[in-house]
Amino acid sequence: MNSKTKSYPHLFSPITIRGQKIKNRIVSSPNSGGPNLYRAGANGFSSFTETAAHYFASLARGGAGIVHTGHLGVDPRYYLGGNRERFDFFSDDIHEHQLTIMHMMTDLIHAYGAKAAIELNHGGHYGPPAGDWKRLGPCTTTLENGVEVQGMDEEEMNRVADYFANAALIGKRGGFDIVNVHAGHNWLLSEFFSPVVNKRTDEYGGSVENRARFPLMVMKRIREKVGDDMILQMRFTANEGLPGGITQEQVLETLKLFEGVVDIVQCSAGKIWNHMSEGYLFPMPYMEHGCNAYLARAVHGKLNMIIETVGGINEPEMADEFIKDGTCDLVASARSFVADNMWAEKARAGRADEIRPCIRCLRCMRYSSEPQTGCSVCTVNPTRVLHTPLPDNGPFVKKKVAVIGGGPAGMQAAQSLAEKGHDVILYEQSEKLGGRLSFTDHVEFKDDVGRYRDYLIHMVSKAPNIKVLLNTKATPQLLSLESPDAIVLAIGAEKFIPPIPGADGPNVIHAGDIYENLDRLGKRIVMVGGGLVGCETTIYLQSHGYSVDVVEMESTLMKDAQSELPYEVFFTEFFMTHEYSRDHHDLYSIPEIDRVKIHLNSRCTKITEEGVYVTDRDGKETFLECDTVILATGFRPGEALKSAYDGLAYDVIPIGDCDHVGDILNTSFSGYSMGMRI
C-alpha cells in the first residue's frame, strides 16, 4: 500500500461489485449542483449541459470512487419536485445531444478513475404534472394543500416501471456504470414502502412484502433491461423520522426482498416536505456527525448486498472508522465535495489538514435563491460563487501586502494572496486569530464553524510567505513605516448599540461579548433581537439553564434568514423551545421546555437595573424582569476606522464586515477575491 494512504487504509481500499473494481470506498452522493447544469429544450424536456459534464468530473478529480448525478425524473408526464424540467429520456434527438453530453461526462469521470452513477426518480406526490393528469401515489388522496393524488393501478405501475427501465438503458448507453434508483425521501417508490403513506388493502399494501412489491417490480424491470453487468443501487429511507414510520425490523425484512437484484443500498433517512423529518435527510449542525450511520450498522453483514451510509460525514477519520468497524462498505457525502471537491484526494495524499470543512449550513441547497450565480453556492468555498473560477496567470508584479485583521475575511485574503505569490503580513491586535468566530469554542452546535476557523488558521500558519503578527495593532503610523504596496482592511465591524435609554447600563452586554463574560450573566435574560444570532444564543443559554425572553420587532424570528436558510431557521426555532441534545434519532420525542418566551412585534423602549420595558404593535407596554440584557442587535461597518488608512498604499481595499456586514459567505468570497484583484 502506498505510504500516503496509511492514514486511512480502509477508506482507500478497493472493492469489486459485479466485476467492476471501485478504487476506494468514497461516494460523491447525488447532488444537483444547480440549474446551470441543465438546459431546457424546445420540446419541454431538459438535458445535461457541458458545464454538468465538467462539474461532475471535478468530483471524480477530487478523488471519489463513485460519482453520482442528481436525481432525474423518468416520467415524461411529470416534473420532479418542481425544481427542474422533465429530463429527456424520450425525444427523437436523444441520440444527438443527450448521449453526447452523457458520454462527455462519463468519459471525464472515468478518466479520473471513478465510476459514474446516474440517479433516477419519480416525484410521486411531489411531482407536478406537465399536463392534465393527477399526481401519482400508492393511494387516491388529497394532500394538505388541496392537490389531488391518483392511486396507481397495475397498468400505471407497469408503465412507470417501463419508464424507469428505459431511462436506465439510456444511462447505460451514455456510459454510466451504475443506475441509482431513488426509493427514499418520500418520492414515489418511498411512498409505497411507507406505512404512513401506503394505506392500500390489496397486494401492494399492508405487509412488508406487499409494500415492497411495486418498488421490486421497478428494480427487476431495470435489471432485465440493462443486463447483469451494470451495478444497480437503491436509495432507501431506513428511518422516516415520523411517528408510525417504518421500523428497524421492517427495514431488514424489506431489504432482504431485494437480494440478488439490487447490489448497493444506501441507508438514508428523512422525508422531503416535512422540515422535522428533513433534519435526518440534511443533517444540521444541531445533529451529531454521521447521525444516520446506525441505520447501516443495523443491516450490514445481514444482507447479501453492499451497504452505504450517508449523512453528516465530513471527515476522513470518521469515514475510515465506519469501514474499519463494519458499519458499512461505502461512505457517501455530497456537501463535503461542495465545500472542497478535492477532499478525498487530499485525504489520500496525506493532506487532510488542508481539507476545507463543510459547516452543514445547507446554503448549497438554496440555489434557487441565488439566481445571479446559476449554481448552488457554498458558504465556505468561495469558488462556488464563481462556479468556473477566473483564469489565474499569477501576479504581474510580486507585491508586499498588509492584511489588517485576523478574522475569517482577513485569513482568507491572506491565503489567497499568498497562493498567488505575494508576500503577506497579517496583523491581528488580539492574542489569537479567528475574529468573531472565536465564540465557537463555547458552543457545541457551532463546532463545524470552529473547524472552519481552525482550517483558516492552519492554512495561514503553514504558508511560508505569510507573516503573522499577533498582539499588534496596525496603526496608520506603523503601516507608513512598512510601506506596503497594498493594504487589505479586514478590521470587522463595530457593535451596533441601539439608542435605547439604559442600553449603556452595567447589566447590558452585546451578544458578541457574552462567551468571554459568562460570569456577568444572571439567570434571567432578556434577548433584544430575534435574528439568527439572538436565536442561536438563546439555544446556548436555555441549554445551560438560563431563562430567556426574546424581544423581536418583526412578526417572525430570523426574518432575514427565512428564504436562504429555511432548514436552519426551522431547527433553530425548534431548539429554542425544546431540550437541546445532539444524541437523538427521534426528534418528535424531544420534550419542550418553558425557559424561553418569545415576544414578536415588540420593541424594547427602556432598560433599567430591574428589567426591560417592551411595547407591542398596539402600543401596550409590558415590563420584563431580568438580571441581564443581551443586545443581539448586529454590527455596522466602522467608517472612521477605514478612512484612517486612506492614501497609505496604492491599493487600500476594505473587505468582509468592514465593507459590508454579512455572513461567512460574504467574508470568504471577499477575502478570496483579493487573490484575483491584487
Instruction: Quick: pLDDT tens for 664-674.
Output: 888 888 999 88
Confidence check: pLDDT of 182 > 80: yes
Of these ranges, 47-61, 123-137, 193-207, 582-596, the one predicted with the greatest mean pLDDT is: 193-207
Rounded-to-integer distance, Cα 356 and Cα 45, Å: 36
- Span 632-650, mean pLDDT? 87
Task: Confirm whether 500 is domain-assigned.
Answer: no
Task: Confirm whether 501 is domain-assigned.
Answer: no
Query: The CATH number of the domain where 293 resides is what?
Result: 3.20.20.70
Rounded-to-integer distance, Cα 310 and Cα 325, Å: 16
204-254 pLDDT, tens per residue? 999 999 999 999 999 999 999 999 999 999 999 999 998 999 999 999 999
- Span 267-294, mean pLDDT? 92
Helix (H) or strand (E) holding 191: helix 188-193
Torsion of CA 71, 75, 80, 81, to 10 degrees: -130
330: left (phi over 0), alpha (psi -120 to 50) or beta: beta
Last residue of a domain, one of 386, 419, 448: 386
For residues 461 and 578, membership in a common domain is answered with: no
For residues 580 and 672, membership in a common domain is answered with: no
pLDDT at 666: 84
Inter-residue contact 657 to 669 (CB < 8 Å): no
Inter-residue contact 433 to 406 (CB < 8 Å): yes
Number of H helices, E strands in the chain: 21, 31
Q: The domain containing residue 535 runs over which residues?
A: 508-633
Helix (H) or strand (E) holding 579: none
Last residue of a domain, one of 338, 355, 386: 386
- Span 120-126, mean pLDDT? 95
For residues 113 and 238, membership in a common domain is answered with: yes
The angle subtended at Cα 567 by Cα 562 and Cα 570, nearest 5°, is 75
Task: Confirm whether 592 is domain-assigned.
Answer: yes
Q: Please classify residue 290 by burial: count the beta carbons closer than 10 Å to its beta carbon, then call 0-12 exposed, 13-18 middle and 19+ buried.
A: buried
Inter-residue contact 141 to 149 (CB < 8 Å): yes
Q: C-alpha distances in angstroms, 620 versus 374, 602, 604, 610, 611?
A: 47, 9, 12, 19, 17
Query: What is the percentage of the chain residues whose pLDDT exceeds 90?
Result: 78
Task: Confirm whether 497 is domain-assigned.
Answer: no
Torsion of CA 180, 185, 188, 190, to 10 degrees: 90
For residues 365 and 448, membership in a common domain is answered with: no
**CA within 13 Å, CB half, 618:** 2
Task: Spell out where 520-645 has E strands.
Answer: 524-528, 547-551, 596-599, 602-607, 611-616, 621-625, 628-631, 635-637
**CA within 13 Å, CB half, 594:** 0
For residues 317 and 231, membership in a common domain is answered with: yes
Task: Confirm whether 214 is domain-assigned.
Answer: yes
Query: The CATH number of the domain where 561 resides is what?
Result: 3.50.50.60
185 is written with which cell numbers?
425521501
536-582 pLDDT, tens per residue? 999 999 999 999 999 999 999 999 887 777 888 999 999 999 999 88
Q: List, as one string, the DSSP characters of 359-406.
A: ----GGG-GGG-TTTSS---SS-THHHHSSPPP----SS--EEEEE--
Task: Confirm whether 138 is domain-assigned.
Answer: yes
For residues 623 and 527, membership in a common domain is answered with: yes
For residues 256 and 316, membership in a common domain is answered with: yes
Out of 215-219, 335-339, 391-395, 612-616, pick the least confident: 391-395
Last residue of a domain, one of 364, 386, 408: 386
Helix (H) or strand (E) holding 110: helix 98-111
For residues 352 and 458, membership in a common domain is answered with: no
For residues 20 and 163, membership in a common domain is answered with: yes
557 is written with which cell numbers?
424570528
Helix (H) or strand (E) holding 345: helix 343-348
298-314 pLDDT, tens per residue? 999 999 999 999 999 99
Confidence check: pLDDT of 26 > 70: yes
130-141 pLDDT, tens per residue? 889 999 999 999
Instruction: Say whether pTM exceeds 0.75.
Output: yes
- In three-state secondary structure terms, 534 is helix
pLDDT at 369: 42
For residues 173 and 221, membership in a common domain is answered with: yes
- In three-state secondary structure terms, 19 is coil
Inter-residue contact 99 to 60 (CB < 8 Å): no
Residue appearing with cell numbers 465556505: 380
Reference 281, options 294, 290, 268, 291; nearest CA is 268
Look up residue 168 and give its amino acid.
A
Inter-residue contact 336 to 380 (CB < 8 Å): no
pLDDT at 398: 93
- Span 513-536, mean pLDDT? 96
For residues 533 and 466, membership in a common domain is answered with: no
Q: List, as one string, the DSSP characters of 256-324.
A: HTTTTT-SEEEEE--BTT-HHHHHHHS--TTS-TTTTHHHHHHHTTSSSSEEEEESS---HHHHHHHHH
Task: Confirm whether 431 is domain-assigned.
Answer: yes
Task: Confirm whether 417 is domain-assigned.
Answer: yes
Number of compact structural domains in the chain: 3
Confidence check: pLDDT of 388 > 70: no
For residues 575 and 668, membership in a common domain is answered with: no
The CA R_g of the chain, rounded to the nearest whole Å, is 27
